[in-house]
Amino acid sequence: MGTKRDILYARETDLSVAEFRQVLAESGLGAIRPVDEDRLGRMLAGANMVVTARRDAPGKPLVGVARCVTDFSWCAYVPELAVSRSAQGLGIGQGLLAEARRLLGPEVALVLVSVPEAVGFYERAGMERIAASFMFRRER
């Protein structure tokens, strides 16, 4: 199972689509995210910061990912924060957020849109709710 100390956090520039897809599927986000290789590849290519959590074990299996789009100056948007179900409850989601904040520095705000089931997690992580946010929904 592992512990918090068994997790390595890092910024990765070459995360594979297969590993990304696997964590999305194992986290449950695969049910509400596209899982075809082409679109996932474009999603990874469009991110300019990907923070990963890997077990400190042979093969360094991926157990969590925070995909970010940022200007490294004002704000960073986190479209995915995913942790494999087998690793949930170890603080990995909070660890990914902390590592992203550390990499971005104190001048950069971290923003995300939560699925309803995860609102409590983000509140416990210390994130502030923002009431006045807006979006155009994707058409497909």
Note the pLDDT of residue 3.
Answer: 57
Note the pLDDT of residue 16.
Answer: 96
Query: Which residues span the domain enclosing 30?
Result: 4-124
AA identity, residue 133: S
Is residue 91 in a domain? yes
| Sequential pLDDT tens for the chain (140 residues) | 455 679 999 999 999 999 999 999 999 888 888 888 899 999 999 999 999 999 998 899 999 999 999 999 999 999 999 999 999 999 999 999 999 999 999 999 999 998 888 899 999 999 999 988 888 988 87
Is residue 130 in a domain? no
Residue 101 sits at φ, ψ, to 5 deg, of -65, -40
Is residue 129 in a domain? no
AA identity, residue 97: L
Note the pLDDT of residue 1.
Answer: 47
Question: Could you tell me whether strands 49-55 and 62-70 are parallel, antiparallel, or unpaired per DSSP bridges?
Answer: antiparallel
User: Which H, E and C letters describe 75-86, residue by residue?
Assistant: EEEEEEEEECHH
Q: How many domains does the chain have?
A: 1
- Does pTM top 0.85 for this prediction? yes
Is residue 19 in a domain? yes
Note the pLDDT of residue 2.
Answer: 53
Whether 9 contacts 60, CB under 8 Å: no
Is residue 134 in a domain? no
CA distances from 39 to 9, 36, 116 (A): 25, 6, 24
Is residue 31 in a domain? yes
Note the pLDDT of residue 4.
Answer: 62
Determine the length of the chain. Answer: 140
Note the pLDDT of residue 30.
Answer: 82
Instruction: Specify the CATH number for the domain of residue 77.
Output: 3.40.630.30
Note the pLDDT of residue 71.
Answer: 98
Is residue 133 in a domain? no
> Would you give the distance in Å from CA 59 to the centre of its chain?
21
CA distances from 36 to 20, 49, 61, 99 (A): 11, 21, 21, 28
